[in-house]
Chain A
Amino acid sequence: MAIMLILFLICSELQKLHKQFVIGDILSETEFWATRMKLLDDKASRKPKQRVGLKSDMIFNVKPSSDGQSNRVTFNLTPEIIHQIFAEKPAVRQAYLTFVPSKMTEKDFWTKYWRAEYLHSTKNIVAAAAEAAEDEELAVFLKQDDILANEARRKIRRVDPTLDMEADEGDDYTHLPDHGLPRDGSKDVMDSQYEQYRRSFLQDLNRHAAVVLEGRAIDVESGDTRSVAEALARSKQVELANEASDGNVNQERLDRISRMAEIEDLQAPRDHPVAPLSIKDPRDYFDSQQANALKTFGDTLAGTKQMTSDLSTSEAYGSLRESISEIKAVGLRAPIVKSEVALKVLNGLNQNISSTKYQIGKNARESVLDRLPKITRDELLLHWTSIQELLKHFWSSYPITTTYLYTKVNLAIMMYCNVITSVSSFPLQWVLDECEIRIICGQTEGCHVKNLSKATGNILSKCHDPASTTDLKESQSDFRHQVSLLVQPMLQALDAAFAHYDADLQKRSAKSGERPNGLV
């Protein structure tokens, strides 16, 4: 119940529906919620879950906080930091998997890790080597990362050959040490025993950027360090297997090189390879397109209306005749229509098409719906949702196996009629111009609700009331087409339901002629 209330708070639409159907005794409470709950669950799982990348910032590169009184320092590790450390330093991850918790506790592990980091930051390689010699676990953190080195060796083979500086290394035919002039930087030769403890901040930076670029490989949200470490290790293996399997990378690389070798502006533009357009969420896509289109639409809207009203029918007819006779006399010229004109027309049509599509859009800030009076729009939307709701229940009751379902269907059908009557009561009667006949058929044949025809009669009379219609037409004739288009799917859905109901009813009565009231 509490949840229900919350939901009502969030969604007043839902509340209205509830009021209409449950309080109106058409659906039972459980029925209403059964479908609704599923929808809600669905919504929850469908909510766009953006995959969060890694932070660009090196968050593990933190300064410890100290209490200022003793030499003790404190590090705060968050799951995010741990994830980053594991992703960027596979050796630490590996060490964690082997050491914790069999050999040491997690706390000890991280203490050792930060100690090693401290030793690095002092840049005293000799001291680091000495410490490592005493403590083999600490040495793991201090030594260079073998896993990374292997990975680098593997990756270097796949690198673009026009970048591969490694191939240069010793391309000179006879490579003798100590040849050439000492260059800047190559001076600091070091004893080989310390070599493995060398590590620079610059390396860390490169590694960090590479990991961020790769993106988050795993989807573990839990704070459990071990599972993060394991998941990362697994994802690395998957990556390895993938690399082994795809063979056409090589070809791609070659193509790319030859493309890169061309000088672009000396060459006529080449056909770009066609990439299939894949739109994950069409609605989002069209909405955004619509927003773009509407911007221009808004500007030109007034102009187009002006244009249409400028010409009287006879004038238009005259010009058409004229051009036809001209064509007859002269024959077709190469551009039948002036290209600017064609473009204009095309644009106009496009805008029309995309704008009607957009009307169903929810954030109808600029949509046609929004130009309707607020009350009308709300009503329209409410009807739409309630018809949807009813249809859902209607279809879910088929095949009819119990009397209960049968009555439910009947009830639903009745409700449609109610809805339709209420539709009729809203001031945009002209919407109904197109559907009146269908409604009448539906009402009279489908379910024998007499008062409905009365209502229809009302509508029709209203529709034909010259004062109101002309008024509407003058002010909003532009939307007429669009709104009717909007109503169209609603009507079609209803038609389908009615048709199905009729067919089913006939079948039923044919099967058991003596029992017109359906199943027992």
Chain B
Amino acid sequence: MKFQIEDVTVYFPYDHIYPEQHAYMVELKRALDAKGHCLLEMPTGTGKTIALLSLITSYALSKPSSLVKLLYCTRTVHEMEKTLAELKLLHRYQRLHLGDAARTLALGLSSRKNLCINPAVVSAENRDSVDAGCRKLTASWVRALAVENPNIPTCRFYEDYEKAASDAVLPPGVYTLQDLRAFGKEKEWCPYFLARHMVQFANVVVYSYQYLLDPKVAGIISKEMQRESVVVFDEAHNIDNVCIEALSVSVRRQTLEGATRNLNKMTQEIQRFKNTDAGRLRAEYNRLVDGLAQRGNLPIGDTWLSNPVLPDDILKQAVPGHIRKAESFVSLLRRLVQYLKGRLETENVEKEGPVAFVGSINAQVGIDQKTLRFCYDRLHSLMLTLEITDTDEFLHIQTICDFATLVGTYTRGFSIIIEPFDERMPHIPDPVLQLSCHDASLAIKPVFERFQSVVITSGTLSPIDLYPRLLNFNPVVSRSFTMSLTRDCICPMVLTRGSDQLPVSTKFDLRSDPGVERNYGRLLLEMVSVVPDGIVCFFVSYSYMDGIVNSWNETGILKEIMQHKLVFIETQDVVETTLALDNYRKACDCGRGAVFFSVARGKVAEGIDFDRHYGRLVIMFGVPFQYTLSRILLARLEYLLETFQIKEGDFLTFDALRQAAQCVGRVIRSKADYGMMIFADKRYSRHDKRSKLPGWILSHLRDAHLNLSTDMAVHIAREFLRKMAQPYDKTGGSGKKTLLSQEDLEKVGNGSLGEMLF
């Protein structure tokens, strides 16, 4: 359908639209017009992604002169694929109506591991070896050597790509990673470098958060993007954690040992170069005198990452004199590693701020703040000079330098915590030095500054006023949408007691109680016999899941569950988890039915949908609080209290409930879908916890469902499933319209639509 929002003609690839999608687009349009940031919460299952994509692409189409480009950030690669699949639908529709005027280039961008088509390289185990394998074949010096010596292997895809030079372009279209690989195979061009190159010309780029948030990456990938670009962070309820992680580093004993090995190797290399090619080292020295900004001229295969966190003037400055010489830089790093080793020897937990830490480095090994700040870039310059291709071997020293740069750059919002052992296993010495970032706004600040519109959206952003504080920005639009349902297709319940009327909870004093474990088991057992197709269970942590599954196995509950449905489990091995998910879907497709056990903060909870028959019921066992004894968390809470006056308890509850809401929200994909959600913990019945759930869940949580026991829940589930299986009128029939057609939209002007909705 095609409709008008103010001056923009929106192309929407379906015959109908939900009223909230329309309202969402209107708000989004306002934010784009105001050239400001916005924060939008809309329940899962209302088609956020397609609304976003169709509005922004239509906006760009209606203003061909503007440089509106969409940078769409997803958290995971599979979400990227899903987004691109929706974009394909949209693009097909736009082509149908606009013809060639709708020509756009949209592509996904990922690492070499996901894009490489050279069989010799991509077969490597992990991404680091793929990167290194690629560099070994494509680095400029390797290729220069290969010209003289044909025995040196190069990558034919890269060579062909280079030969094609400016002819190597992607025709307009929507490219998923798979499409990119297929295109690369067909043309024999390296898809990775092609994609990297095409990013500048693409109208839509879909990539992961890191490409914008991690300063090490953002500088290289995203520096070309125009200010007019619209940046979207989808599923952004966790964005503060992603930001924090991007700037946190931990150093262990193994890291330091590895770094020492790296430094020895580098010393040897320097010696070798001194004997054979001293001019090279001198050239590097001269380049460094001119300043870091010069690095832009390096060939694309060699590029390293700049650090956009550094203010521009520093980039233009000369690198401090005493680290320009390769030997002196290496010996400086040795001193740093030695110092860190010394700090790890501690027997007590230590915590200090970056300023004190830098002061102590300066006092003990004589490295000042400014020098630390240059470490990361200086190291990469040196590695290039030394023609190091096996970069996967040099990860440790990179970690150390990254650490040094971060410590040298920020004076607030960080703390350095040294723990001699893990709290949970005090008898095993495992010293770790953590530089943890507490301020999420630091990483995202450059993004807000560089781009004129940043859209942060998710199904769970409640309370919506907290995010601007955490991320330190001023949205021009900040709204939370409710869901207009044709029928009550979601059924949240709070289960507080087992069939024996004893309370269930994962609270610390109750969680390992056999009675609670049994009650949880009985709950699942009752449910598997009632609910068809797929059931998803979320546990509060891996260790808890492991424990409870083992205990169910011993008591025979698991065996009984398996009589009804197959059991699949998320493990820490992603390959295995992926296969388990695949099998889970197969089992749901073929009607066998299955249960999937997952973890609330795990990878599955982050981005896998359990819509339709893949999830008719989600059970959230317990409240997924963070591990509250973690010192990093405590330090962050302290920081939040000092800076934003956010109380510890409030933040923890907010964080736990957004995770829980996120987990259960995965069951709904559209209004035709239906699903139940069980919050199985007595703490959910308390108002202070429950009220933190997003509005669209709360509005369906009836008072009668607030304090259930297992048998009552089973009864409700039966009723609900019976009711949902009936046919119904999709458009909502009389009263509120929940599905609008083109005529509806034309009839009702933009103004009165809002009244219709609410």
Query: Are B542 and A185 interface neighbours, CB within 8 A?
Result: yes
Query: Are A159 and B89 interface neighbours, CB within 8 A?
Result: no
Number of interface residues of A (CB under 8 A): 60
Judged by a CB distance under 8 angstroms, whether B569 is at the interface is: yes
Q: Mark B512-535, 1 if CB is under 8 A from A, else 0.
A: 000000000000000000000000
Residue from the list A163, A173, A205 in contact with B581, Cβ < 8 A: A163
Residue from the list A57, A155, A163 in contact with B585, Cβ < 8 A: A163
Q: How far is the CB of A420 from chain B (nearest CB, A)?
A: 52
Query: Are A200 and B546 interface neighbours, CB within 8 A?
Result: yes
Considering the complex, give the chain A residue whose CB is closest to the CB of B553.
Answer: A201
Q: Given A265-B670, A266-B47: A163 and B578 within 8 A (CB)? A: yes
Query: Are A168 and B574 interface neighbours, CB within 8 A?
Result: yes
Residue from the list A168, A176, A266 in contact with B670, Cβ < 8 A: A266
Within 8 Å CB of B550, what residues of A?
Answer: 201
Q: Given A170-B113, A206-B571: A165 and B579 within 8 A (CB)? A: no
**Bound-state Cα–Cα, A266 to B22, Å:** 13
Query: Are B566 and A173 interface neighbours, CB within 8 A?
Result: no
Q: How far is the CB of A415 from chain B (nearest CB, A)?
A: 52
- Name the prevailing secondary structure of the B interface residues: helix
**Bound-state Cα–Cα, A174 to B398, Å:** 10
Query: Are B128 and A175 interface neighbours, CB within 8 A?
Result: yes
Query: Are B563 and A56 interface neighbours, CB within 8 A?
Result: yes
Q: How far is the CB of B418 from chain A (nearest CB, A)?
A: 14
Judged by a CB distance under 8 angstroms, whether A182 is at the interface is: yes
Q: Name A114-172 residues within 8 Å CB distance of B.
A: 152-153, 155-156, 159-172
**Bound-state Cα–Cα, A209 to B210, Å:** 35
**Bound-state Cα–Cα, A215 to B119, Å:** 33
Judged by a CB distance under 8 angstroms, whether A331 is at the interface is: no
Q: Given A56-B562, A165-B574, A171-B110: A179 and B542 within 8 A (CB)? A: no
Query: Are B594 and A181 interface neighbours, CB within 8 A?
Result: no
Q: Kindly name the residue among A153, A189, A264 whose own CB sees the greatest number of chain B CB atoms within 10 A.
A: A264
Q: How far is the CB of B272 from chain A (nearest CB, A)?
A: 26
Query: Are B255 and A178 interface neighbours, CB within 8 A?
Result: yes
Within 8 Å CB of B482, what residues of A?
Answer: none
Query: Are B178 and A165 interface neighbours, CB within 8 A?
Result: no
How many A-B pairs with Cβ below 8 Å? 245
Residue from the list B17, B216, B563, B574 in contact with A166, Cβ < 8 A: B574
Q: Given A213-B583, A265-B739: A177 and B395 within 8 A (CB)? A: yes
**Bound-state Cα–Cα, A177 to B250, Å:** 9
Residue from the list A169, A179, A262, A265 in contact with B730, Cβ < 8 A: A265
Q: Given A206-B580, A266-B47: A169 and B126 within 8 A (CB)? A: yes
Residue from the list A174, A200, A264 in contact with B214, Cβ < 8 A: A174
**Bound-state Cα–Cα, A61 to B571, Å:** 20
**Bound-state Cα–Cα, A186 to B131, Å:** 24
Within 8 Å CB of B583, what residues of A?
Answer: 206, 209-210, 213
Query: Are A162 and B578 interface neighbours, CB within 8 A?
Result: no
Q: How far is the CB of A383 from chain B (nearest CB, A)?
A: 45
Q: How far is the CB of A162 from chain B (nearest CB, A)?
A: 5
Considering the complex, give the chain B residue whose CB is closest to the CB of A201.
Answer: B550
Q: How far is the CB of A17 from chain B (nearest CB, A)?
A: 44
Q: Name A401-428 residues within 8 Å CB distance of B.
A: none
Q: How far is the CB of A316 from chain B (nearest CB, A)?
A: 39
Residue from the list B76, B82, B572, B672 in contact with A168, Cβ < 8 A: B76
Considering the complex, give the chain B residue whose CB is closest to the CB of A53.
Answer: B592
Q: Given A173-B221, A179-B245: A156 and B578 within 8 A (CB)? A: yes
Query: Are B177 and A152 interface neighbours, CB within 8 A?
Result: no
Considering the complex, give the chain A residue whose CB is closest to the CB of B731.
Answer: A265
**Bound-state Cα–Cα, A264 to B15, Å:** 11
**Bound-state Cα–Cα, A429 to B245, Å:** 93
Q: Kindly name the residue among B424, B434, B575, B586 whose own CB sees the greatest number of chain A CB atoms within 10 A.
A: B575
Considering the complex, give the chain A residue whose CB is closest to the CB of B603.
Answer: A165
Q: Kindly name the residue among A171, A203, A257 whose own CB sees the greatest number of chain B CB atoms within 10 A.
A: A171
Query: Are B579 and A206 interface neighbours, CB within 8 A?
Result: yes
Residue from the list B47, B76, B176, B671 in contact with A165, Cβ < 8 A: B76
Q: How far is the CB of B204 from chain A (nearest CB, A)?
A: 15
**Bound-state Cα–Cα, A167 to B575, Å:** 9
Query: Are A159 and B579 interface neighbours, CB within 8 A?
Result: yes
Q: Given A178-B255, A185-B572, A266-B14: A170 and B111 within 8 A (CB)? A: yes
Give 6 CB contacts A-B under 8 Å.
A162-B81, A167-B177, A170-B128, A172-B210, A261-B88, A263-B47
In the complex, the 6 A-B pairs of residues with the closest C-beta atoms, listed nearest first: A170-B127, A185-B542, A266-B14, A173-B217, A180-B245, A265-B672
